[in-house]
Amino acid sequence: MGTLHRGRQSIVFDRRPAILSAAAIGGKKEREGPLAAYFDETTADTTFRQLSWEKAESKMQALALESAKRKAGLHDADLDALFSGDLLNQCISSSFAVRDTGVPFFGLYGACSTMAEALILSGMAVNGGYARIAAAMSSSHFASAERQYRFPLGYGGQRTPTAQWTVTGAGCMLLGQRDRGPCLRCATVGTVVDYGIKDAANMGAAMAPAAYATLRAHFDDLGRSPEDYDCIVTGDLGAVGKAILLDLFRRDGVALEAIYDDCGVMIFDLERQDVHAGGSGCGCGSVVLCGYLLRKLQKGELKNLLFCGTGALLSPLTTQQGESIPGVCHAVAIEGGRV
Amino acid sequence: MGTLHRGRQSIVFDRRPAILSAAAIGGKKEREGPLAAYFDETTADTTFRQLSWEKAESKMQALALESAKRKAGLHDADLDALFSGDLLNQCISSSFAVRDTGVPFFGLYGACSTMAEALILSGMAVNGGYARIAAAMSSSHFASAERQYRFPLGYGGQRTPTAQWTVTGAGCMLLGQRDRGPCLRCATVGTVVDYGIKDAANMGAAMAPAAYATLRAHFDDLGRSPEDYDCIVTGDLGAVGKAILLDLFRRDGVALEAIYDDCGVMIFDLERQDVHAGGSGCGCGSVVLCGYLLRKLQKGELKNLLFCGTGALLSPLTTQQGESIPGVCHAVAIEGGRV
């Protein structure tokens, strides 16, 4: 077997790990947004009948995993590896969600890039024969994130125009070997990029340079270009970060407008839903991919998608200590196909 | 290429990814402990000349990576992937440590099992041809962990007898293809195991069942037995967890005493250094492996080591919410060999 490594940061999935199934669970605001119809389950009760926001987030991951397994006709015992993460301290949503499953578990922390990181590692596991079936999963919850990163909800803190709204949602995708349907083709692993942005209420600006760097590396490493994709999405740059990314490419003479969008812009009606610069969080890109984009890939309406998870690697403590906000972006190329 | 998956949780590294180099950095208490001579660098100044404990921990990771690269005659540009994590919220020690390296970065969260998780993923990356050279790294710092998980140091909180002392240390290991020296042979990925322990000052008891479950799975999946190893170590069960693990195996009629030890017991003189049940933290198993055990493997004094990273997947918030403490354990079999 030869090397599957390409250039500085990229890898090729020569056995084309297939997406067997996926599920997206959303909260109340997501249910009121433009992509509501594409989610497997949404709720008007964002506690998901749990006693805390953290338990609610964990419950969402459990529901997403359950739904993805059911769709594929699989059980816990069929899963050889599960890669997941979230935004909560010590990634408790993920570890508590899977503690009754008995599935071999890899905990990840990639901030909001986690779903792309999980997909790359699941793809490596299946492509390399380390797992017959692997799961990639991530979640975020507006209420658990607000009180951890910013203020308790009851405080009623004012939000700045560049702030984003953490998506309440969990997405799960199962990968395995199958000769039809959407599959992973290649991926680019991000490096940590820090342009010195210090405003924790402007994460789009902090992450956009990382998205730019990863996309450039993707095209260079793999000899690909924007024309090879009918859709490129970032996870949660929001309206501010999206504009910056388009501008960075415009300076290179590359017009991405026609094929590029951001999941944080897509998931909400920014004006009507009062979410300022758009959605964010581990769950944002995750549910847009597992809900909306995958259906397009399965119907053949999308043929080549580049999903770019974007993460801001800050903590409340680094911000208090005056640190800037490093970003990271992982990109996965997914080919469409009828199931 | 066939499948490298074995049984429920295990994988085989058929191309035997080699350990090219490793480095271990320790703090003041580690410098005063029985393994001090095996570390690459220790310091009497646990701030590492930084302005905060968190920056100090990040600095330790940077030093470990730098030292490991130097020993192998490699540079940042030679590394295709870096897997790392730590105990701090949002894994800031890891992401800040690598932000100037340009190395493709996978952030992990496996609590104190992170070094084993990083080694398994690095092994998969190199074995599968996804990376020519991959790095596995983790760290912990007594002072940053104490104030995050328990109390500010100035508070002078009393510690219970089952409590452990977070190791101040960072370990880094570089993997690649080489036909001599220590190499990875196989691994067992842990599931999340929860026996209902709720005392956050007794993490050894919370993690021991996970270590037992992973070791049993390792032997079953791979047709191996304790006799196949001249040394089995867990990462940080401490004296309490070590006794529980030995007892669990004793009930199966298996006597592990002669070949089993715990890095948390090995790294400190428990009586003299007043560390109660022993060392703990992401850095504990990491520096004992990268410092002490690897030298034994390189000299041929150890031929078959089973390194079992053990993690308690709690957060201060889950404890406040009355949750029990799930554990996880990942095991990696390393074969010795002269370099």
User: Using the beta-carbon criterion (under 8 Å), do B8 and A104 form an inter-chain contact?
Assistant: yes
Instruction: Convert the pLDDT of each residue in A120-140 to its tens digit.
Output: 999 999 999 999 999 999 999
Mean pLDDT to the nearest integer, A193-218: 97
How does the average pLDDT of chain A come out, rounded? Answer: 97
Q: What is the Cα B323 distance to its own chain's centre?
A: 25
Q: What is the mean pLDDT of residues A183-190?
A: 98
Q: What is the pLDDT of residue B152?
A: 87
Q: Residues B116-139, buried b or exposed e (16+ Cβ, 10 A)?
A: bbbbbbbbbbbbbbbbbbbbbbbb
Is the CB of A285 inside 8 Å of chain B's CB atoms?
no
CB A308 within 8 A of CB A329: yes
The closest alpha carbon to B5, from A41, A121, A79, belongs to A79
Angle at B111 between CA B138 and CA B221, to 5 degrees: 95
* Cut 0.95: pTM above it: yes
Q: What is the DSSP letter of B8?
A: T
Q: DSSP H helical segments within chain A, as ranges?
A: 28-31, 53-72, 92-97, 114-127, 142-149, 203-222, 238-251, 263-266, 282-287, 294-299, 316-320
CA separation (Å) from A296 to A119, A190, A234, A235, B197?
18, 26, 16, 17, 46
Question: Residues of chain A with pLDDT > 70: what percent?
Answer: 100
Nearest-angstrom CA–CA distance, B289 and B319: 30
Contact A90 B107 (CB under 8 A): no
- Dist CA A39 CA B266 (whole Å): 51
pLDDT for position A283: 98
CB proximity under 8 Å: B 203-232 to A = none
Is residue B38 within 8 A of residue B22, CB to CB? The reply is no
- Contact between B128 and A132 using a beta-carbon 8 Å cutoff: no
Please tell me the predicted confidence (pLDDT) of residue A22: 98
Confidence of residue B157 (pLDDT cuts 50, 70, 90): confident
Percent of chain B with pLDDT over 70: 100
Sign of the CA dihedral with B262 first, then B268, B271, and B275 last: negative
Cα distance between residue B47 and residue B43, in whole Å: 9
Write out pLDDT tens, residues B93-114.
999 999 999 999 999 999 999 9
The yes-or-no verdict on residue A2 having pLDDT over 80 is no
B-chain residues within 8 Å CB-CB of A77?
A: 8
Cβ distance B239 to B247 under 8 Å? no
In sequence order, what are the beta bridge partners of B309? B330
Distance separating alpha carbons of residues B326 and B197, to the nearest angstrom: 8
From A183, A170, A163, A152, select the one nearest A312 (Cα to Cα): A163
The shortest C-alpha distance from B40 to chain A (Å) reads: 26
Across chain A, how many H-helices and E-strands are there?
Answer: 11, 15
Q: Chain A closest CA to B98's CA: distance in Å? A: 7
Residue of chain A whose alpha carbon sits nearest to that of B98: A192
d(CA A25, CA B212): 35
Report DSSP letters for A236-305, one per residue: S-HHHHHHHHHHHHHHTT---TTTEEEHHHHSS-TTTTT-TT-EESHHHHHHIIIIIIHHHHHHTS-SEE
| A97-110: pLDDT as tens digits | 999 999 999 999 99
Strands B81-86 and B279-280: unpaired
Q: Which residues lie closer than 8 Å to B7 by C-beta, 6 or more apart? A: B217, B220, B221, B222
Quick check: A182 contacting B, CB < 8 Å?
no
d(CA A84, CA A105): 8
Tokens linked to A223? 């000899």
In B, minimum Cα distance to A12 occurs at: B130
Does B9 lie at the interface with A, CB-CB under 8 angstroms? yes
Of A98, A125, A323, the CB nearest to B124: A125
B200-232 as b/e, with b when 16 or more CB fall inside 10 Å? bebbbbbbbbbbbbbbbbbbbbbebebebbebb
Residues in B closer than 8 angstroms to A316, CB to CB, are: 89
CB spacing of B92 vs A315 below 8 angstroms:
yes
Nearest by CB to B107, from A103, A110, A317: name it: A110
Q: What pLDDT is stored for residue A74 in this prediction? A: 98
CA separation, residue B10 to residues B2, B120, B215, B223 (Å)? 15, 10, 11, 11
Say how far apart CA B17 and CA B124 lie, in whole Å.
9
Confidence of residue A1 (pLDDT cuts 50, 70, 90): low
Cβ of residue A75 closer than 8 Å to a chain B Cβ: no
Give the mean model confidence (pLDDT) for residues B135-162.
94
Q: Would you call B131 an interface residue with chain A, using a CB distance cutoff of 8 Å?
A: yes
Nearest neighbour of A191 by CB, restricted to B87, B90, B102: B102
A332 strand-pairing partners: A187, A307
A96 inside 8 A of chain B by CB: yes
Pairing, β A327-335 against β A183-188: antiparallel
* List of chain B residues whose C-beta atoms are within 8 Å of the C-beta of residue A51: 321
pLDDT (0 to 100) of residue A339: 86
Would the pLDDT of B1 be above 60? no
What's the gap in Å between the CA of B267 and the closest CA on chain A? 25
Q: What is the mean pLDDT of chain B?
A: 97
ipTM exceeding cut-off 0.85 for this assembly: yes
Residue B99: count of CB within 10 angstroms of its CB: 20
Per-residue buried b or exposed e for B150-177, using 16+ beta carbons within 10 Å of the residue's own CB = beeeeeeeeeeebbbbbbbbbbbbbbbb
**Mean pLDDT along residues A44-57:** 97
* Closest-CA distance of chain A to residue B80, Å: 6
Enumerate helices (H) and strands (E) in chain B, giving the number of each: 11, 15
Tokens 């799960």 — which residue?
A172
- Cα–Cα–Cα angle for B182, B115, B84, rounded to 5 degrees: 115
pLDDT band at B156 (very low <50, low <70, confident <90, very high): confident
Which residue in this structure is represented by tokens 């609610």?
A56
| Contacts with B103 from chain A: Cβ below 8 Å | 191
Q: Which of A227, A238, A283 is nearest to A265 (CA)?
A: A238
Q: What is the pLDDT of residue A156?
A: 87
pLDDT in tens, B64-100: 999 999 999 999 999 999 999 999 999 999 999 999 9
d(CA A287, CA B30): 45
CA distance B263 to B283: 10
Rounded to 10 degrees, what is the CA torsion of A126, A127, A128, A134? Answer: -10
Please tell me if residue B55 touches chain A, with a CB cutoff of 8 Å: yes
Which is nearest to B235 in space by CA: B218, B252, B210? B210
